[in-house]
Amino acid sequence: MSHNFSELRLAGRMLLPVVQGGMGVGVSAKRLAGAVAREGGVGTIASVDLRHLHEDLLAESKHAKDQAALDALNLSALDREIRAANASAAGRGLIAVNVMKAVDAHAAYVRQACESGAGAIVMGAGLPLDLPEMAAGYPNIALIPILSEARGIGIVIKRWMKKGRLPDAIVIEHPKHAGGHLGAAKISDISDAKFCFKRVLDETFELFQSLGLKREAIPLIVAGGVNSHEKVKTYLDDYGASAVQVGTAFAVTREGDAHDNFKAVLAGARPEDIGEFMSVAGLPARGVLTPFLKNYLKREEKLQAAARADPARCTQGLNCLAVCGLRDGLSKAGQFCIDLKLAAAFRGEVSKGLFFRGAEPLPFGSAIRSAKELIDYLLTGRMPADLEPA
């Protein structure tokens, strides 16, 4: 693909400067990640609870007797997805695996991703201070933390430098625009100026200089609200970023792994249909105000007042999160099973699902197009001919 941007250097490869964000449960798996990598970009598999893509593993999970058995099934699913995505990519691009620090079994997911042939591990939803230890023995796998402001970037880089390792890249995610779990302490912080891309990039380059690092030592990838070629040009040419990460716009492509109903909900959402709420992980989150979420928010205060710590309230029996508002009785966090609701969204169950989504309009509106067309538009500005304004 002909474009005017510098390529992204990552894991010994020269890649298109477009990273597809990790989206679970099952939204970004082998099909989407493989398609993006096949075009020369970074395709990302979201590691959490991929059993939902495999009927045999779902069937086995009904008979799982303990947490270890459930974890083993999820690791088996992750292994299958990585190997299939690499086969689909046919040696092009790079397959990354997104692992949430907030997931209790995150270290096991990292090890499985390394063993199964992932080219990169991307970790967010918490400071990944010990990611180098988790990936020990796999020096060629790129390690990429997701952070939102310069202070956190400084903490991670300085801690990793003491271990003799630098991040291979850093994703800088803006809480005001991104979908899913957001990198802010509370909802009121989402618009804080400290998250502005220009400010974070400038402060990070100053940090590099103070640590004796070259400006290009660690590629910086901006994420959140990237929905046009003009924004890509601004972030890469004017602000100095090395690449962009895009989530929702890839989720609604033809290759997206979720149900077509899922894509229709995300693509058809208007600004007034999108809202912020506190997830069960205790982090602000953003999603579509579906019937489930609207009803939940009406009852949230009452549910939070009745919060109590009780492992039996884990309706999936997964104990998937290290900290869970529902299971652990955290009154300020969400009081629902996030795995149950995300799995329903993956299946396209509009009335029951939790549909994470970014805040911005999509490049092609409500049209469902290919990953190739999306990448081409982001890098060149060429809109598909049939979508050009009359």
What's 177-236 look like in SS3? CCCEECCCCCHHHCCCHHHCHHHHHHHHHHHHHHCCCCCCCCCEEEECCCCCHHHHHHHH
pLDDT for res 385: 82
pLDDT for res 156: 97
Domain ranges in the chain are: 8-266+360-382, 269-346
Please name which of 271, 300, 302 lies closest in space to residue 288, comparing C-alpha atoms: 271
> Among residues of the chain, what percentage have pLDDT more than 90?
79
For the stretch 322-373, pLDDT in tens is 788 888 898 898 999 898 999 999 999 999 999 999 999 999 999 999 999 9
Long-range CB contact pairs, 193-198, < 8 A, 24+: 194/149, 194/150, 194/151, 195/148, 195/149, 197/172, 197/222, 197/235, 197/239, 197/241, 198/239
For residues 17 and 352, give the distance between their C-alpha atoms in angstroms, rounded to a whole number. 36
pLDDT for res 157: 98
Average pLDDT across the chain, whole number: 93
Classify domain 8-266+360-382 at the CATH class level: alpha beta
Distances (CA, A) of 200 to 55, 221, 241, 242, 325: 43, 11, 11, 14, 31
In single-letter form, the type of residue at position 180 comes to G
pLDDT for res 69: 86
pLDDT for res 317: 61
> Among residues of the chain, what percentage have pLDDT more than 70?
98
Predicted model pTM: 0.95
pLDDT for res 63: 84
User: How is residue 180 written in tokens?
Assistant: 């899913």
